[in-house]
Every structure is written in C-alpha cells, then in structure tokens.
Amino acid sequence: MTDKSRTEHPSVSSDTITSVLKRVIAENGREYIRGYLLAILCLGIIAGTTAYAAWIMESVVNEAFANKRADLVLIICGSIFAAFVLRGFATYFQAVILSKIGNNIVARYQRRLFSHLMALSVSYFNESRSAYLAAKINQNISGIRDVLNMTVTSLARDLLTLLALVGVMLSKDWLLTLIVFAVAPPLLLGLRYVSKRLRAATRESVELNSHVLGAMQETVQGITIVKAFTMENQLKEKVESIIERAENRSNRIARLTERTAPMSESFAGFTIAGVLAYAAFRSIYGGILPGAFFSFVTALLMAYDPAKRLARLQVSLERAAVNARMIYEILDLKPRQADRADAQPLAITDAAITFRNVRFGYSESETILKGVSFTAEGGRTTALVGPSGAGKSTIISLIPRFYDPADGEILIDGQDIAHVTKQSLRNAIAYVSQQPYLFEGTIRDNIRYGRPDATDAEIEEAARHAYAHDFILAQPLGYDTPVGENGVTLSGGQRQRLSIARALVRNAPILLLDEATSALDTESEQAVQKALDEAMSGRTVVVIAHRLSTVVRADKIIAMQDGMVIEEGTHEDLAARENGLYARLNNLQAPAGLTGK
C-alpha cells in the first residue's frame, strides 16, 4: 500500500488554458479535422456576408438616397437578400456540424471515462464517494467539448467577422479606425484580471455543486433509512448548508462574469458616440456624402458583438478549461494494480490457494492482517471463522486482488497472483458477497453477468440450483422481469439467491462466499445450502460463515482473531479443544451455528 499517495489521487492542476487546449486538440484534432474545416468554411461565409452587409451601406445611402439611382436599387437589394440567404444556410450547417462533433466528443469521453474507471482498483472507489464521483463526471464531461467548440467558433466566426468588419472600417476611414482601437487596451487588461479571478471560483463552484448532487443522490438511495430514523431534518440542514455555499459561489461567478458587461458596454458607448459625433460634424460642416460614414458606423456596430464575444472568450474558456481539467484528473489516475510487465495468464490445476506471511492494512496507519499463513487445498472447502474485525472478509478481498498485500505472498497452484493477469485470475473465481448487488436490467441479464456466453438453458439451470427458479417464474415477466434499481422490487433473500445463481453460472474452479446465506430466512437458507453444497463439489471454496450448518461440513476450519490465524482443523478437532477460540464460539451459538464476521 506504499503507493497510495502517488496513484489514484487527483491533485489540483495548475495547467493554463493553453496547455489544456493543446491536450484537447492533440487528442481530438485529427479525428474531427474534416468536420471542423467544413464548419470553419461556413463560419467564414458568415463573416464575409456580415462584412458585406456593412460595406454595401455606402452604396445604399449614397446611390439610393443621395444620388437617387433607381436603376441600382434592385441590384443592391438583391445582393443583400442573397447575402442573408447564404448566411442563413451557412449558420444552419455550421451549427449542425459543431453539434454533431460536440455530441460525439462527449460520448467518446464518456466511454473513455467508464473504461478507465473500470481499470481503477476497488480501493479508489472505497475512498471516493460514488454519488459525488458520478455528479462530478456528469457536470464536467462537457468541458472538453466546450473548449474545442468555443475555440473554433471564436476564431473562425468572431475573429474572421471582426477582421472583415475592421477591413470595411479601414476602407471607409482609416484614421477613425485607428482612433477607435487605440482605446481598447484598458478593456483587455480588465478582462484579463477578471478571468484570473474566475478560474478559482469556477473550480470551487463545480466541487460544491457536485457535493449537492451527491448528497441528494445518497439521500434518495437511502430513503428507507432516512424515513426509518427520521433523519429528514438532519439531512435537510446538511444539504441546505451545502446548497447555500454553492449558491454563494455561483453568485460570485455571476458577479465576476458579468463584470465584463459594464466595461465593454461603456467602451462601446464611448466609441460609437464619438464616431457618430465625428461623422455628423464632417457631414454638416464638410459637405461630405454620409454614405461612407453610415457604412463605417454599420461596420462598427456589427463588430461590437464579435468583439465582445472575443473579449469574453478567455473568461468563458476559463470555465470550460476548469471542467476539462477535472475530467483529465480522473483520466490521468494510474491504476494501483496494473498488470506487471511479466504477468502471465493463470494456469489452474488443483486451484489450491496459499497465504504466506501476508500482511495488509487499508491505510498505512493500520494493520488488519498480521502475518497470515494457511493453505486452502484444491477441490476442498475452507471456512474462515472468528469474531468481527478478525480479518476474514479482508482475506476474501485479497484473493481476487481487490487489494494487494503490503507484504507476503498469495499463491494459486504455486503461482504468485501478483505476477498473473487480473483478467485470468478473476475468470477463475466466482464470488458471492455478503451484500448482494443487482444491476439495471432483467433477472436473466443479472444472472448472465456471471458468464456472458451462458445460454438461457444454463441460466435457468443455475437458477434452479440456487433455488431461485420458482420465485422467478412467479414474477410478472419471469426471467425477463426488470429488477429495478439494485433489485429494489425483490426481497433480500431473493436478491441473494440471484447473486448465488450468477456465481453458479460462472462455473469457476474457485468459489468465494462471504456470508452468502446471511440475508436468507431459515427455510431459504436450507434450500440454498443444498445448492451451495452441490456447487462446492469439486471446487476450491473459501467461505465465511456465521451458521454452523456451513462450518461443520468444511474440510478445514481456520479460526482467526485480531488479524492472525489462531487455530486450524476440522469441526470435530477444534470443537474438542478446551478453551480454544473455535470451541468458545461454537458453544456460544450451539446448536444453531457459529458467529460470523
């Protein structure tokens, strides 16, 4: 566990917008280059037609109104109509193209994120609240799309439009154009200051909103406990506190973001008023036709929106880049348990499991297993017993490498599982946890997760062995009945029997049972125990049991206490030892069974 601080723990990134943009382009640029080029062409057409509308205003004013050239009116009006039609189609196509690319990017990163999350170790998910993680991903996944689309639209549409309109302004009055842009630097400095302040506020807002969604999701998932313990007011106060902090942070972002409005509007008002005054006096006292000035003013007014969007671009990109960085923090996590370079597929012969002086703790400050050594013989059943906290479930978790030991070795048929591929290791194991978990879908789907290529006949056979077939047929749609979220429509015993059926259909040489019958009533336990007895035959079974019915038939019983193996032997041998741990536990529960975890 010494690498805990170095892997699977995101840190606050100090990447600039530029570095995030470079990474996004490097990962996606080649994939979407054709679509973006076509979108840029459309955006260029929009920029050109916008500039044309401003440029033609000189002819409209001078020829139509001042010189009264009726022969040119239709030509001028026709060209304006054609320009707007072309602009409309270009706007449609660029919007559709960018939307399709953006949607594909979101889907692409959703797939990538899911795949990466599946590669991370169990410990990462134990240390990260699932509701918060889901909310964080949901909020931030669009950041990468927005970084690309904002960059393309701003550079291709707004920058090209602004340059084209500035070109019109220069052609009409170059001196006035230079004066207009001479007063722009103070505005740019102000926007830069705002964007820096916005970066930290945006990240805090995303974190707080994720906590809000996470708290709500956890409350919904545990609603029965909330109602049973009348926790409504407590949770209400907790969630309202988080919501208030999130609201305050969002308000701060709004103030920072909209702080650009008075700066840009004041700049625009001063510039336009000055230009109009200058144009009016030139026309009144200089006798100059007003067409050029109307064209200049039209270009200036039309340039205001793209200029404002470009001025706010850094502010908008800061928010998108923060979202993108938080997604990359997850994608950049290195799995703690990646297969080693020399890892080989596990070769199963007897499926014997050996622990050699294994030490383990879930954190560096604690030790759960203190030099555990034992062998679970191939094709036989080994039962782990002992008081709560003895380390039994930890042993079960180490066999499929949900965690890696801090010291010692775990071997299967003499092969150190640290040097075999996780895929081959877990393919050789069927696992039934203490808390059965069902996934969204039908009953048939949930059993088939044990082995994707299982036939319907094999699924039904596994259900019969798990004594689940009868209650499945009693469901409205039989095996095709949806189970609801985590099997909410089924009882605890029914969910556990489906979990056992999923393990049986896997047909693996190693079977791990973590108090697999704990959720069953006495009648259901007896039925399932018969199925488990049949399933255990010929397999290597490691079982944690809390009832004597499972323990007495085990080929070997290992009694544990305080992370150490205290006793080994059969039921008869251990029960006969005076003052032994197993004998004491057995006497406490006789004749019903033995204490569990």
| Alpha carbon distance 450, 467 (integer Å) | 17
Question: Terminal CA-to-CA distance of the chain, rounded, Å?
Answer: 24
User: Which pLDDT belongs to residue 4?
Assistant: 41
Instruction: Decide: 514 and 395 in contact? Cβ < 8 Å.
Output: no
| Alpha carbon distance 399, 353 (integer Å) | 8
For tokens 């040489």, name the residue: 509
Exposure pattern of 431-443 as b/e (b: 16+ CB <10 Å)?
bbbbebebeeebb
Instruction: Decide: 509 and 347 in contact? Cβ < 8 Å.
Output: no
Question: How many residues are recorded in the chain?
Answer: 597
3-state helix, strand, coil in the chain (%, to 5): 65, 10, 25
Domain assignments of the chain as residue spans, ordered by start: 17-331, 343-428+509-516+540-597, 430-507
Structure tokens given for 445: 């789907």
For tokens 């001063």, name the residue: 270
Instruction: Decide: 278 and 180 in contact? Cβ < 8 Å.
Output: no
Q: How many CA atoms are closer than 13 Å to the CA of 514, on its beta-carbon side?
A: 18
DSSP 320-335: HHHHHHHHHHHHTPPP
Q: How many CA atoms are closer than 13 Å to the CA of 416, on its beta-carbon side?
A: 13
Looking at residue 101, its amino acid is I
Q: What are the 10-residue block averages of pLDDT along the chain, 597 residues in total?
A: 43 60 85 90 90 85 71 82 92 90 88 86 74 70 80 82 87 78 66 65 70 74 72 82 82 73 71 73 68 79 79 74 82 82 91 95 86 93 89 92 92 94 92 83 92 93 88 92 79 84 90 76 69 76 77 88 92 86 79 43
For tokens 């004597």, name the residue: 548
User: Which pLDDT belongs to residue 524?
Assistant: 66
Conformational region of residue 441, where left means phi above 0, alpha means psi within -120 to 50, and beta covers everything else: left
User: Which pLDDT belongs to residue 69?
Assistant: 74
Superfamily for domain range 430-507: P-loop containing nucleotide triphosphate hydrolases (3.40.50.300)
User: Which pLDDT belongs to residue 528?
Assistant: 67
The CA distances from residue 119 to 330, 338, 367, in Å, are: 12, 8, 26
Exposure pattern of 468-504 as b/e (b: 16+ CB <10 Å)?
bbebbeebeeebebebeeebeebeebbbbbbbbbbbb
| Alpha carbon distance 195, 256 (integer Å) | 8
Q: Is the peptide bond before 591 cis (omega within 30 degrees of 0)?
A: yes
Q: Which CATH class is domain 343-428+509-516+540-597?
A: alpha beta
Instruction: Decide: 215 and 332 in contact? Cβ < 8 Å.
Output: no
| Alpha carbon distance 271, 265 (integer Å) | 10
Structure tokens given for 178: 């230079």
Looking at residue 549, its amino acid is S
Same fold? 343-428+509-516+540-597, 430-507: yes
Segment (H or E) for 432: strand 429-432
Structure tokens given for 338: 């990646």
Q: Is the peptide bond before 436 cis (omega within 30 degrees of 0)?
A: no
Helices marked H in 154-184 — which ranges? Answer: 160-172, 174-182
Structure tokens given for 380: 């036989």
| Alpha carbon distance 556, 570 (integer Å) | 5
| Alpha carbon distance 65, 62 (integer Å) | 6
For the four alpha carbons of 535, 540, 546 and 549, in that order, the dihedral sign comes to: positive
| Alpha carbon distance 518, 524 (integer Å) | 10
* Closest CA relative to residue 399, chosen from 381, 416, 386, 387: 416
Helices marked H in 312-418 — which ranges? Answer: 313-331, 392-398
Residue 385 phi, psi dihedral angles, 5° rounding:
-130, 165
Residues contacting residue 374 through CB under 8 Å, at least 6 positions apart: 354, 355, 382, 558, 565, 568
User: Which pLDDT belongs to residue 185?
Assistant: 65
User: Which pLDDT belongs to residue 594?
Assistant: 42
| Alpha carbon distance 237, 577 (integer Å) | 55
| Alpha carbon distance 403, 360 (integer Å) | 9
For the domain made up of 17-331, give the CATH fold: ABC transporter transmembrane region fold (1.20.1560)
| Alpha carbon distance 464, 534 (integer Å) | 12
| pTM of the predicted model over 0.75 | no
